[in-house]
Structure 1
Amino acid sequence: MGKPSLADLSAFAAVARRRSFRKAADALGVSRSSLSHTVIALEKALGVRLLNRTTRSVEPTQAGAALLSRIEPLLGEFDAAIDAISEVGGTVSGALRINCGEEAADRLLQSIVPAFLGRFPNVELEIATDGRLVDIVAEGFDAGVRLHESVPQDMTAVPFGGPMRFLAVAAPDYLARHGGPMTPEDLHRHRCIRHRLPSGRSYRWEFERHGEAMTVDVPGALTLSHTGLMAKAAAGGNGIAFVPEPVARERLASGALVAVLEDWSPPFAGLCLYYPGHRHVPAPLRAFIDTLKEIDGDRLYSTAGTARR
């Protein structure tokens, strides 16, 4: 093997970023064995080990980390050059992978995704719904969507959808039989529909009023892991659920659900699209961000598109 090629260096960078041959191979569309042979050949040509491999993990060596830090800007410049040439031709193409929760995906699918696909038919968009807070770089995603408070500090965040809030909701017949809670502490005397998080722990309901914050580990015989099902169960008279307002909006409008403790449920910064701020932004992602900003319009926060510190 002579001087390493751009493909060889890109292959190494994909593995080093993701700390996984399998994830890198999936992202590059090659077999794991082929990718492994490429990296081994690169190490042999350079005369230095770049990755430490065990049965459970892959970590860059000191030399590998140094090489990655030097070539990442160059790879970014290469991608930028390719994107610029493509845009001269008037087209945006390629793949775009976004990770988010189901409620966020539903929000995107309402208007932003249809508009984006209509304008950029040559882009292959994948939206992977996952309740876990994944490392979007390690998992091979271009961007993620999460609540503002959950966005990693080293990411660039583009808020959209405006402020949101969680609401405690119940069916009118349940409230007629059991009465409504006047304070969050009253929830201890009610049947609550608990929320199991992807991490496995039970979500503790969070309230705030006049600067006073309160967290309640509510009791309940029914536990669900999907907020849409929680709202449905509450509408069926099974107890009080605590869900994002958009999830319950239709049932609130129809009267199937009634909100309680509203004065303890102030709005907070809502959803953000986020992506690595220190890297070149691929043309498909840049086009998606532009579409999001245009569709979301005047609901965007003033911090949109800026890196959070």
Structure 2
Amino acid sequence: MKSLRLDSLDAFASIVRCGGFRAAAAERGVSSAALSQSIAALESGLGLRLLNRTTRSVAPTEAGARLNERLAPALRDIRSAVADLDRLRETPTGTLRINAPGPAVDHVLCPLVFDFMRRYPDVKVELISDAAIIDIVQEGYDAGVRFGRQLEQDMIAVPLGPALRYTIVASPDFLQDRTHPVIPSDLMSFECIRRRFPGGTVVSWQFEKAGERLDIAPQGRLTLSSAHQELQAALAGQGIAHVFEDYARPHLDDGRLVELLVDWSPQLPSWFLYFPNRRHQNAAMSALLQHVRQFDWSR
């Protein structure tokens, strides 16, 4: 048996339902001749006559009746499945999976997504905190968040929130009886709290002042894997930490941390939400992108 086309099966079901070629052709917006050719190809592929045709009527053969009996509910299921996809395209629903580093989840995605979910109650969101560089398409994510614009060429990037700033902090207890560092190289004589990325790289500390840029490889006995851990270590007096200002700000304001090398802190690009460069997006992803553009980041 030759391979069959779904549109030919659907055309056959239309003819049976409408009781003739002319009515079915009008329903489908095609000519009777085109419909007749489609049925002829279907019968040829099956090697069976499906319709008995006279100048006055059309009726299914025994084979046609059997086929139609099984075909009608199957076509209803297919139409229902397509309608579900239409709703997915037109109405924000379903699940969005987003991969992002912990700081982006804490300070950018959480306020954004919480507000988004209040507006779109039929959308589910999974936020996966992960600092590793991954292929979001292969791993089944709708989008990812990374720092700056260093992304694959086939990705579209949308800025999330304002520019970022790293800050160098330590607790007053740690700094007691110690001379504060004046320039970044002074840090080499201090106990620093290091951070290692999932890929194994130890994070370097970057500084900038009056056009001069410096990278410091921090030295210290404690190496951690997350910004939360670095902040807790600094609060506990374990050394000097290098964290996003968003993490440190409440503790700077209440005096539990002291900021160092303030005039060496560079202004950095924002986080970026990135996603595949696809022509068609589902309604949930389109709604999220629109929400990003309208969101009040100052709240």
Establish whether TM, by shorter chain, passes 0.5.
Answer: yes
Q: Paired residue for 1:249?
A: 249
Cα distance change on mapping 1:3 and 1:117 into 2, 3 Å: farther
Pair 1:215 & 2:210 matched: no
SS in 2 for 1:243: strand
Aligned residue number for residue 295 of structure 1:
295
Partner of 1:124: 124
The corresponding residue for 2:144 is 144
Change (3 A) 1:217 1:87: closer
Contact 1:224 1:230 in 2 (8 A): yes
Q: Write the deviation string for residues 226-270 of structure 1: whole angstroms up to 9, x where unpaired.
A: 111111111211110001111111111111111111111121111
Structure 2 residue matching 1:287: 3-state secondary structure: helix
1:33-112 counterparts in 2 under 5 A?
85-86=87-88, 91-108=91-108, 110-112=110-112
Worse-matched range after superposition: 233-242 or 286-295: 286-295
Give the corresponding residue for 1:156.
156
Q: What is the one-letter code of the residue matched to 1:274?
A: Y
Cα drift, residue 167 of structure 1? 0.8
Q: Which residue of 1 aligns with 2:134?
A: 134
In the other structure, the counterpart of 2:169 is 169
Cα distance between partner residues in 1 of 2:140 and 2:201: 26
TM-score by length of structure 2 reads: 0.68
Whether contact under 8 Å (1:207, 1:264) holds in the other structure is yes
CA contact (8 A) 2:89 2:282 kept: no
| Residue segments in structure 2 that go unaligned for 5+ positions in a row | 7-81
* Cα pair 1:156 1:275 within 8 Å, conserved: yes
Check the 8 A contact 1:112/1:295 in 2, yes or no: yes
Contact 2:95–2:123 (CA under 8 A) maintained in structure 1: yes
Deviates more, 1:156-165 or 1:273-282: 273-282
The 2-side partners of 1:153 and 1:4 are apart by 38
Q: Which residue of 2 aligns with 1:44?
A: none
C-alpha deviation, 1:151, in angstroms: 3.1
Judged with a 3 Å threshold, the aligned counterparts in structure 2 of structure 1 residues 4 and 297 are, in CA distance, closer, same or farther, namely farther
Q: Which runs of 5+ in 1 are unaligned?
A: 6-79, 300-309
Structure 1 residue 193 and structure 2 residue 188: aligned?
no
SS at match of 1:281: coil
The Cα offsets for residues 11-69 of structure 1, whole Å up to 9 and x where unpaired, read as xxxxxxxxxxxxxxxxxxxxxxxxxxxxxxxxxxxxxxxxxxxxxxxxxxxxxxxxxxx
Contact 2:161–2:297 (CA under 8 A) maintained in structure 1:
no
Q: Aligned with 2:273: secondary structure?
A: strand
Moved more, 200-209 or 145-154: 145-154
How many equivalent residue pairs?
A: 224
Identity of aligned residues (%): 39
Given that 1:111 and 1:295 are in contact with CA atoms closer than 8 Å, whether structure 2 keeps it comes out as no
User: Larger Cα Rg: Structure 1 or Structure 2?
Assistant: 2
Closer, same or farther: CA 81–204 of 1 in aligned 2, 3 Å: farther
